Structures are given as C-alpha cells and as structure tokens.
Amino acid sequence: MRSAFCGRVAPALSRREAIEKSGLGLGAMALGQLLGLDARASAKAAPADPLAPRRPHFSAKAKSVILFFMQGGPSQVDTFDPKPALSRLDGQSLPASFRSEDLNLQFIKAGQAKLMGTRRSFRRHGQSGLEISDLFPNLSRHADGLAVIRSCFHDSFVHGPALLLMNTGHIRMGFPSMGSWVLYGLGSESSNLPSFIVMSDGGIRSSKSLFGSGFLPAVYQGTLLRAEGGTLIENLNPPEQLSGQDQRLLLAKINEWNRQHVESREDDSRLTARIRSYELAFRMQMEAPEVGNLSKETEAVRRAYGVEDPKTAKFARMCLLSRRMVERGVRFIQLINNDWDGHSECDDNHVKNAAATDVPIAALIADLRQRGLLDSTLLVWAGEFGRTPVMQGSMGRDHSPYGFSIWMAGGGVRGGKAIGATDDLGFRAVEDKVHVNDIHGTILALLGMDHLKLTFHFQGRDFRLTDVGGHTNLAQRLVRA
C-alpha cells in the first residue's frame, strides 16, 4: 500500500496489529458518542432559554407595547371621528343608499333604523388641529402625539369573535394572542418579571383566549396580575416558616422531578413552562413587591395619574404599574377597561368609561415622555369594534365592525394626524381602509418585525399573527412627519 504523504510503500499490518493500533481510536469514537448522548440529554433537561432577547428583523425604535383595550366597543362617532352630517340628520331614517345586503346589525333592522348624532362636542387640538371629542379633555393635550386611524374594519359584529380577531388575528379560539407573538419574536428583557402582563379593572370577555399562547409554547402566554391594592399575584409570598435556603432546595428538587417528567413528554410545552414558572416565581418574590409598591412614587406622580381618586383609581394604578414595568423591561402590557358596550344610554356609558381612563392615560403619556421612554414604547388604544350611527332603543348604539377608530402613539409614531376615513355618517370605512391584519402587521413592523417572517409551524403549515393578509403601508405613514 502506498502512503499518500511520501509515496513509499508501507509495510502490511497483521490483524492483531491492526486491532491494537485502532483500539484507541474506536474507544475515542465510543466516548464521543457517549458524550454526545450526554450533551443531548442535558439539552433536554435544560433547554435553551426561549425568552432570551432576540434581534428584530430590522431596526426599530419601539421595544415594548402598552395596549389600552377598551372592551365592549367604543363609538367612533362619539370619540375620534366627528360627523357633522350625522348630527344634521339626527332622528331621520337611515338613507336607502346606506342600506345593503352585506350590512348586518345585531339588534337593529336597517329599514327601521333612525340616525342618532353624537351628544359630544368635537374641537381641534394642538398645532395639528386633530379633532377629538370632549370625552377626553386630558388626552386632547397630547393631540400632536396621537395618530388616529379612522378607517379600521373587520368581519364580525359579535363580541366573542371580534375580541379574538383584534387580539389574535383569527375569528376562532386556539390561536396565539398578539402579546404572545411579540414575545415569541423578540424574547424578554426582564428576567425577574413576566414579559407579557395583563391587567383589567373588571371582567374579561372570552377569558384567557385574549392573552393565551394558543399553539405557541406555553411560556409565551400572558400573566394576569391583580390591579387593585395588595400583592400583584396571589400566593406569591412564601410561608413564613420556610427559609430562603429551604425554599431554594425545595425548588431544585421539584425542578429535578419535573425535568425527569419532561424527558418522556417532549412535545408538551406546558411542562417546560411550569418549570420556568417556578423559577420565575422565586425571582419575583423579590421584584414584584417592589414594583407594586406605589408608595415609592411621589405624591405629585400619584395625583397626576389619579391613583387616589375613586373614579380613576383602578385604571390609574394599572397605568402607573405599566410605566414601572416598562422601566424594568416588560415587553407587552395589556390594560383592559370595562365596559364600553353602550346598547342603552350609549352617551352615559361612554362618559363614565372615559372619566375612568382619560386622566391615567394622559398621565402615562406625559410620564413616559418625561423619562425618555415614549419613543421606545408603542401605545395602542382600541376596542373590538365600533358602534352604529343609528339608534338602538332610545339612546343606545349597536355593534359595528364596518368602520371604527383606534389610535397609536410613541414607538416612533409621528402624531397629530388622522389616517383614513369613514363615510359621511360614520358607518363604513371608505378611504385607506385598515383591516385588523393590517393593524397587527403595523404593530409588528414598528417593533422591527416582518409579519411575513414571524411564523410558527403547526399541524403541517406555517401560521402567523396576520393570517394570510396584512399590509404594512400604514406603518410607513405612521412614522412619516
């Protein structure tokens, strides 16, 4: 046999010599295989951190989101979409030109509908002259920072499906919420607090579906915190008789058993999430009480938010906690206000809900700006749909997904503008229409994520927040002066 190195003939080896010389190599191969098995076993026992911070697809200013969700459906014609023609036609029948087969109302027959103008007054605010109703005197002071989108629409006039559309992008249950997608795409910048937090000043329609992780790993689901006084999370504090060292040992043993359980159930992400929740809860016992202690805020700050005022106290606490959480790297915060479902006495309903939220939201905007956090925090105000310009009962308004308003601020958004328009009566979006998939694609874009690339493979196909739709032209308009 010829050596490839020097060209001379190498002496032949006997079988005994071959075994002796190659034995060490075979052992090394076996050892390498065993080490590889050990490494893979360790990887199963301690998987890579799914919440580790990740780079966005492209550069973006926004790092976190605060979603003000006005559950129940605020009326666009009473808040951010003035309609003088509707006021002039108050009490008259809905014109035939506005009736069509695709116009579905839940409780009103279109042929019997009477128009109802707003009882609010609209004024121009700021240098931009953005028109906002008198429901929001404090928010109006930030008009030059708000971008109102008046041409939103989607496909459901029933609360349940509409809530799912606005929060998950799909009309059916089982899909990940917007906050879960954001956390999946960007990871967390907070190691001692949940990175997707939900607070409500009342009940939550559709329950956990609005902040669940769907088919994404369970570690990305939202954490519901208590907005009222006391501890943020029930049962967070350890028993008094359990020392820190004993608790650490107990936690380590529980995690050891849980990891053994996970090894035989690799596809159940709930187990991995449970392990991480124990670890996070241990760290939160130091962090959460400090975050929730609003007495550390100055009296002037608490007064500005309305923490001491019974009318605003609940939502004020939620807003102030949100600022403290954004400071600590929490990625997505969802604040739910109840309940804008004005089927009867719509104006009274809106006056009450606006009074509870106007001061706290305005204070949060000012506070974030003063602390240099507004440019990196995207604020979104929305409900699940709008309401009809026709009357339900004596003074109510029915659900309407055909044209409604939301607004955005911070996070690179250039405010002082209204985008899109509904028709003369505020019934349908007619100019620069923005579907819910476009809203979600825009929020992702402002966070530096391409909604077409943020996918998760499930049941044989790739899914995304924006389903099979979504455009980001709106994002470009929001960031332009």
Instruction: Provide the residue ranges of all domains of the chain, joining segments of one domain with +.
Output: 64-229+298-479
pLDDT at residue 110 in the model: 62
Distance separating alpha carbons of residues 323 and 101, to the nearest angstrom: 46
Distance CA 162, CA 338 (A): 16
- Picking from 224, 130, 142, the residue whose alpha carbon sits closest to that of residue 177 is 224
Q: Which two tokens stand for residue 168?
A: 């998950």
Distance CA 266, CA 211 (A): 24
What is the spatial distance between Cα 151 and Cα 406, in angstroms, rounded to a whole number?
A: 9
Longest C-alpha distance within the chain, in Å?
A: 109
* CA 55/CA 450 separation, integer angstroms: 12
Question: Average pLDDT of each block of 10 consecutive residues along the chain (481 residues)?
Answer: 41 49 41 36 51 94 97 98 97 81 67 89 98 98 98 95 97 96 96 92 87 94 81 61 66 72 66 65 65 90 97 97 96 96 96 98 98 98 97 93 97 97 96 97 97 96 95 90 72
Residues sharing a CB contact under 8 Å with residue 57, sequence separation 6 or more, in sequence order:
448, 449, 450, 453, 454
What the block records as the tokens of 400 is 């309407």
Structure tokens at 235: 């049962």
Q: Backbone dihedral region of 135: left (phi > 0), alpha (psi from -120 to 50 degrees) or beta?
A: alpha
Q: Is the dihedral of CA 443, 147, 84, 395 positive or negative?
A: positive
> Strand 64-70 and strand 377-382: pairing?
parallel
Reference 446, options 194, 182, 211; nearest CA is 182
Residues 6+ apart with CB under 8 A from 181: 216, 220, 444, 454, 464, 465
Report the alpha-carbon distance of residue 352 to residue 355 in Å, rounded.
5
Do residues 217 and 185 make contact, with C-beta atoms less than 8 angstroms apart? no
CB proximity list for 364: less than 8 A, separation 6 or greater = 66, 305, 319, 320, 322, 323, 379
Q: Using the Cα atoms of residue 316, residue 320, residue 326 and residue 329 in order, give the sign of their dihedral.
A: negative
In terms of Cα–Cα distance, which of 380, 404, 420, 416 is closest to 125? 416
Q: Does 64-229+298-479 carry CATH code 2.40.37.10?
A: no
Residue 200 — φ and ψ, nearest 5°? Answer: -140, 145
Residue-level pLDDT at 429: 97
Return left, alpha or beta for 310; rule: phi > 0 is left, psi -120 to 50 is alpha, else beta: alpha
